[in-house]
């Protein structure tokens, strides 16, 4: 029995919604609308969102294609005398290097916008996609097709929470996103750094994680300590009523002929006392001498 040719969950669901124009190949399992087209008749799409293809991964795929052929059909659309690739550029490249005369395809009747949506979703279902590429792909789907997170999740076959958490990584500073993309920093580290309010602190912590090879858990403890609010001021109660303090200050002002500030002693919640104070203002040396005399102190004897 022929092996079932499969597609990603998101692509499979989308294809069910679109018009398939190829005549079903009777040799295909379950009569799927898969046909074969000469490899040379398929041209790359200018809409292809992916530009970089890993050379080593392409070599491995080419070796697999030589031995097993193309196990997953390419998605194409007809353009005059040739077919334009929608999804499956790595497979097409591998088929060309392996000198396959023809490849299995599904021909879709779609416009430019739908073609780009298929290409984005196919890219998002690759196993070798790094987390920042994945986040960028989700953002493109949201912005170009006005898709909500649950709609994106349904199309790519992932949980909505996964899509939401991945998209949040795009809020990190560029230097931190680069560390995640290149590998020194994990997506888990990035999610912890999102709870840090200041971008400069995010960057410094990211550098520390790389420098000290900190685990996600270790970073969580650092951030938890960083975000921990300062100790609340101790509860305290003034020992003298405010009205009395004001009255006393006024009486002392009249007595000394200058401003006098009275601060009451205070009692803390644990019963301990905080000292009070009396501050007498003076404005020059003569004024100081006058205040001292009122207090019964002879400045010349000091």
The two three-digit tokens of residue 131, written as one number: 């987390």
**CA-CA distance, 30 to 51, in Å (whole number)?**
35
The two three-digit tokens of residue 263, written as one number: 């601060």
**CA-CA distance, 61 to 205, in Å (whole number)?**
39
Contacts of 110 (CB under 8 A, 6+ apart): 18, 19, 77, 86, 118
In this structure, what DSSP letter does residue 108 have? B
Annotated catalytic sites, by residue? Answer: 89
Q: Which among 44, 16, 10 is positioned nearest to 123, based on CA atoms? A: 10
Local structure of 63: helix, strand or coil: helix
Q: Which among 17, 263, 206, 252 is positioned nearest to 117, based on CA atoms? A: 17
**CA-CA distance, 172 to 60, in Å (whole number)?**
34
**CA-CA distance, 50 to 89, in Å (whole number)?**
9
**CA-CA distance, 121 to 147, in Å (whole number)?**
12
Helices 149-156 + 112-124 axis angle, to 10: 70
**CA-CA distance, 144 to 27, in Å (whole number)?**
38
Q: C-alpha 65: how far from its chain's center?
A: 37
């Amino acid at each position: 029995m022929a092996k079932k040719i499969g597609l990603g969950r998101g692509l499979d669901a989308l294809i069910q919604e679109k018009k398939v124009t190829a005549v079903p190949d009777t040799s295909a399992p379950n009569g799927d609308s898969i046909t074969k087209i000469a490899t040379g008749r398929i041209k790359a799409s200018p809409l292809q969102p992916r530009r970089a293809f890993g050379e080593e991964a392409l070599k491995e795929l080419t070796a697999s294609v030589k031995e097993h052929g193309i196990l997953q059909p390419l998605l194409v659309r007809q353009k005059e005398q040739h077919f334009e690739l929608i999804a499956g550029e790595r497979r097409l490249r591998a088929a060309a290097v392996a000198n396959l005369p023809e490849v299995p395809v599904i021909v879709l009747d779609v416009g430019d916008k739908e073609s780009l949506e298929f290409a984005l979703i196919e890219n998002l279902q690759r196993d070798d996609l790094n987390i920042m590429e994945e986040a960028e792909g989700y953002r493109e789907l949201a912005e170009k097709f006005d898709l909500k997170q649950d709609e994106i999740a349904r199309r790519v076959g992932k949980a909505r929470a996964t899509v939401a958490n991945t998209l949040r990584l795009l809020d990190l500073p560029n230097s931190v996103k680069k560390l995640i993309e290149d590998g020194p920093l994990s997506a888990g580290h990035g999610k912890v750094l999102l709870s840090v309010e200041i971008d400069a602190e995010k960057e410094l912590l990211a550098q520390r994680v790389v420098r000290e090879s900190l685990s996600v858990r270790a970073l969580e403890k650092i951030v938890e300590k960083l975000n921990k609010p300062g100790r609340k001021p101790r509860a305290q109660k003034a020992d003298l009523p405010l009205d009395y303090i004001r009255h006393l200050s006024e009486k002392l002002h009249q007595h000394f002929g200058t401003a006098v500030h009275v601060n009451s002693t205070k009692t803390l919640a644990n019963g301990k006392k905080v000292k009070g104070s009396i501050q007498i203002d003076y404005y020059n040396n003569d004024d100081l001498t006058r205040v001292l005399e009122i207090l019964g102190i002879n400045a010349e004897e000091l």
